[in-house]
Each structure stands twice: as structure tokens, then as C-alpha cells.
Amino acid sequence: MPTAALRQDSLVLYKKKAARVRQIIDKKLAIETSDGSRLSVRPKDVLLLHPGPLRNLAQLTALNGDVETAWELLAGETTNLEELAELAYDEYSVASAWAAWQLVADGLYFGGTPDAIVAHSEAEVTAERASRAAKAAEQEAWSSFLLRADQGVTAPENDQFVQDVITLALGQRKKSQVLHALGQAETRENAHALLLKLGVWDATFDPYPLRAGLTTTSANTPLPPLAEEARRDLTHLPALAIDDEGSLDPDDALSWEEGRLWVHIADAAALITPGSAADQEARSRGANLYLATGTVTMLPAKATQILALGLSEISPALSFGLDLNEVGEITDCEIVPSWVRVTRLSYREAETRLQEAPLRELLEASQRYQARRHANGSISIDLPEVKVRVVGGKVELRPLARLRSRNLVREAMLMTGEAVARFALGNGIPIPFTTQSAPAGEVPTAKTPSAMFALRRMLKPGQKSTAPGAHAGLGMDLYAQATSPLRRYLDLVVHQQLRAFLQGGTPLDSQQILALIGEVDEVIRDVRRVERLSNRHWSSVYLLQHPAWQGKGIVVELHGRRHVVLLPQLGLETSLYLRQELPLDSKVELKLREVDLVNLEPSFSLA
């Protein structure tokens, strides 16, 4: 605006505020704003509203005018600030000019600049009124929600605000307008706590699978029928599928035939071919997700119905015939598609029959193999394990008993893994090998819980690779996981590679296998991490359901006055700060103090 249009005591607009021109000095204006500030600005930084004289900003008092009549007279036309002031307030003064400009700034009836003010149409005013009413109602709802939320109360009409908290609690976004407004740090834990306080979630809601982006529904990809092919008939051999009680997907069974151990594995690759829809779905999941509330399977339920061992009178299998010498070395491995007749046993049932054939022979072979692994430096960790289940809303914790039958099956699976690794290496079949580096430093002999605990911390994670190598923890020069193709995707890949070789086809090459490992590895880590967090969640819920819990703990680690205590009945570890330092492996009686479900931190005190 030209300097000539401005003079001392003019009313101007500066950054949406009323201002008085105190002086004009060279090319600058000395102004005073409505908040009392005195500034030096350029003429182009202000808009002239009235030439004055404005002696004091207190002159800008509120005026009563006929605004709607002025709007009706000007509807659809363009005018200026002077004319609007006269029509609305019957005068053009500093007070009416400021009042008229506030009408323009408000934007309901008018818009534009002081020299070009447009009167909005009736339709525009109606729409703006509706918009303002909606915003006012939304603001009222927001304010009411915040007030109730602070008191731990919500209502169905507040779903949009609650959803803002849920998305943060599930890790789907990093911000929450609600938590910010309540003055809380915008963390998943605080969001979780608020949802519990509001009753939107209860203690039984497990957020960890969804936080990791894992689906909680099983695969349901359509499957073809099992293809007909030549299979060796092994139905004359008793085949025992030994598993936990309640297992729904038995995928391995054992037989004994005149000195040969047969390990029968569900023939998943006969049904799930590389690149098929079911294969791609399983690859995206990486493995079954085992939750206390049930199993989320990587393969459709139909795959279990067709392939699981013992669900039908005769089952298809991929059978591994293993010969062992006197010192537990594998001297031969035969791999054949087969038919088997399977009897299912629980570990406890098998434990009572270990003196009967063929369990007697199977046990002896497994012990021979285990002895060789131990001689080769295998590391055995014997710490309490607890199985967590939710039945009818109640959490059950069941410590796993140390049974020879469980050890028998484990050794047979390890034996098969070694045999498969050697077979693949000897025949040039690329597969995912499992390796583990040796712990740094000398591995101590561990016989006490604290020593076992320390030893576990020394172990390095296993790795998947197309390059064969030793598995230090298992005491094996070669190893590949191959015995759970219904449960682990890379086991399925091993079976697909073996089948391609046995049928004279072309297995995937090393680069393709390496790409599959890279694609699946991170997903599997997420699955296992979620299983751990979810189990700790349900263990915490168990304690909420048993507030008077009391039990024994074992001191397994010391950090000054902080004692790390193992709770065998719960499968948990906790920290206690005690006045007196207790020796390692001391047994203490503990009682539950409180449960921080959000942070998965139950706390205990000496009973």
C-alpha cells in the first residue's frame, strides 16, 4: 500500500491484529498493536482499514449493527469496507471499520480484502453455518470425551476417538491426539493402559500379534487333491506319533525295523508345490504361530486333514530310514515316499511303555545318538519350561515334565536333521542348513540352575544358510531342520528340494534358496518374538486371576542387591532387591505383589 495512503493515527491491520499508526518515519511505520506491542514495520506489511484519527485502540469498542440486512442488500455483489460499515453500522468510523472488517475476517457473510469485499450467497452462508454447527458439535463431543476419559469412562459415540488410541496401542501409528490432549506420553504402553482403564480392552486382549503385523487367522488357501504316485508300503511297521496331549497336527512318527530307525514325516511337499498359492501363503507367514489361545497355521486346515500322521487309518509320509553304528554315527539314509499306519501316543503314555518293543529299541538308539553328540561338545540347557494355555477364559500353566519319551523323540528329529543335511550335501541339493557358532570362551560345566542360566546367555543364535557348517549347541557337524514341514516353512522347502531330487526334477538353486531364507527369516523372528511376548502376557493374566499366588523361586543371577530369580511354576524370571545378598541357587518363597500387565512386569516380594 503506498505510503501516501497512510497517515498518523490511521487504523491498520497487522498480522490479523488491529494496529494504530503512531508515526511515519522515512519508509517505515511505527505502530502500536492491540496487545500493546510497539513495532517498526514496512508499509506493505499492513492493510489500511480507516484513515483515522484513531487516538487510542480502546476506541475499537463492540458495535450493534444490522449485519444480516447489510448482507441481504449486498448478496452476490462486491463492495468495499467503507460501504459495508455504513450499511451495517450506519457510519464509517474507526470503530465501525474495525467491526466491519471483523465480519469479513469471520467469513460467514463476507470475504475478500478491504477494497474488494464479496457478499456470500445464501447457499454459501447456509453451508458455512452447517459446517460450523458440525464443528461445534464435534468440539463438544471431543471435550466431553476427554473429560470422561480422564475419569475412565467412555461411550459408543466416542468410537472415533477411541480408535485413535487403538491404532497407537497396536503400533499402527506413532501419535495419538487423545494421549497428547490428556498430557500423556504417546507410547503404545500408555495407549494400552488407557484402553484398559476405559474398558475398551480387558486383560484377556493380547495385542502382541497385531502389533507385529501378524495375522491371527489361519491360512485357508484352496488345495488340490493329493497326487497319485508310487509309495513304499510301510504299513506293516508299528508307527508311533508321540506328542503333547491335545496336539492337533501330528507331523512325525517313529518305527523300528530290524535295526533300522524309520522317521516318518508328514509329506507336505507332495501337496504344497513350490510357487503354488499355498506355498506363497506359507512363505508370507514363515511358520505356525503358537498362541495360548490356539494355533494360527501357515497351511490350510485341509493340509492337516490330508497329511497329518494318524488322523486317517493310513497316512502318506516322507520316510527316512536311518542306520546307526555302535557309537551313534549315521551310516546310511534312505528317503522314500511311503504309506504308514500310525498310532498316536502322548509323551506320558509312551513313558510308561519304554520297556516294550519298539519303544525299547527306539530309546536305545536315541541314547546312543545323544551320547555321540555329547562327546562332540553339545550343550544341554536344563531349565524349567511351562506350557501356557487359555481354556474358557481361564489361563492354565503346565510345567513340562522331563520325560525320556520326550528326549527320545527329540533325538530322532535331530538324527533326521543330520541325515538330511548329509544326504543333501552328498547329492548337491541346495537346502537351508542350520548352523550355530560356538560360545566365546570356555563353556563351563553346568549342573545348577544358575549355571544353566549363565550358560544360556552365552549361546549365540542359530543361523540359516545355504553353506553347510557346524551347530555348536547340538554338537553336530551338519544339521538341517526338516521334521516339521506342516509347521515351519523352511522345513517345507527342504522337503520340496528332496522331492525334486528323488523324482528326477530340478531343485531350486542356491541363490533361490538364499532368497527364500532372506524373505522368511525376519518373519520367523517376528513369530517367535510374538510367541514369547504373548506367553508372558498370558502368564501375567494368570497371576491377575490368582492374586494370592505364592511359590518357590531360585536365585540364578546377582547384580549387587538385585537378585534375578527364576520361578519354575510360572516359567518366568523376576528381579528382587534384597537387603542381604543371597547365594546363587538359594531357594526363596515368594508371593505376588502386583501385576503391570501393560509392561508385562509382575512383581513379587518375599513371602
Mean pLDDT of 420-433: 98
* DSSP assigned state of 476: B
CATH topology agreement for domains 138-201 and 546-606: no
pLDDT of residue 160: 84
Average pLDDT over residues 442-456: 88
In the 8-state DSSP scheme, what is residue 311? S
Distance (Å, whole) CA 106 – CA 118: 13
* pLDDT confidence of residue 142: 87
Q: Is the dihedral of CA 165, 167, 171, 177 positive or negative?
A: negative
The answer to whether the Cα torsion of 60, 62, 67, 70 is positive or negative is negative
Cell of 456: 544360556
CA distances from 192 to 57, 582, 602 (A): 52, 37, 16
Would you say residue 159 has pLDDT above 90? no
Query: In terms of Cα–Cα distance, which of 150, 523, 494, 108 is closest to 335?
Result: 494
In terms of pLDDT, which residue wins out, 154 or 439?
Answer: 439
% of the chain surpassing 70 pLDDT: 99
C-alpha cell at 166: 487403538
Tens digit of each residue's pLDDT (9 = 90 or more) over 466-480: 999 999 999 999 999
* Span 318-352, pLDDT tens digits: 999 999 999 999 999 999 999 999 999 999 999 99
According to the model, what pLDDT value does residue 3 have? 42
Model pLDDT, residue 138: 86
Class of domain 546-606: mainly beta
Res. 288: pLDDT tops 90: yes
Q: Are 592 and 549 in contact (CB under 8 A)?
A: yes
Q: Would you state the pLDDT for residue 4? A: 46
Please report the pLDDT score of residue 2 as a whole number: 40
pLDDT digits (tens, 9 = 90+) for 115-152: 999 999 999 999 999 999 999 988 888 888 888 888 88
What 3-state class would DSSP assign to 519? helix
**441-to-307, 379, 380, 436 alpha-carbon distances in Å:** 45, 14, 17, 15
Strand partners, 587: 554
Cis link prior to 337 (omega < 30° from 0)? Answer: no
**CB contact at 8 A, 239 and 255:** yes
**What element of type H or E holds 560?**
none
C-alpha 218: how far from its chain's center? Answer: 16
Q: Residue 247 pLDDT more than 90?
A: no
Domain boundaries, the chain: 3-122, 138-201, 232-438+447-452+460-537, 546-606
| Residue 299: burial class (beta carbons within 10 Å; 0-12, 13-18, 19+) | buried
pLDDT band of residue 1 (cuts 50, 70, 90) is very low
In angstroms, the CA 549 to CA 603 distance is 11
Say whether 142 sits in a helix, a strand or coil: helix
Backbone phi, psi, residue 505, to 5°? -85, -165
With contact defined as beta carbons under 8 Å apart, do 238 and 254 qualify?
no
Is 50 exceeded by the pLDDT of residue 370?
yes
Highest mean pLDDT among 53-67, 147-161, 421-435: 421-435
pLDDT digits (tens, 9 = 90+) for 3-31: 447 899 999 999 999 999 999 988 899 99
Confidence check: pLDDT of 549 > 70: yes
The matching CATH number, chosen from 3.30.9.10, 1.10.357.10, 2.40.10.10, 1.10.10.10, for 138-201 is 1.10.10.10
Q: Residue 428 pLDDT more than 60?
A: yes
Quote the mean pLDDT of the chain.
94
How far lies 605's CA from each of 112, 277, 385, 582, 598, in Å? 71, 53, 22, 14, 20
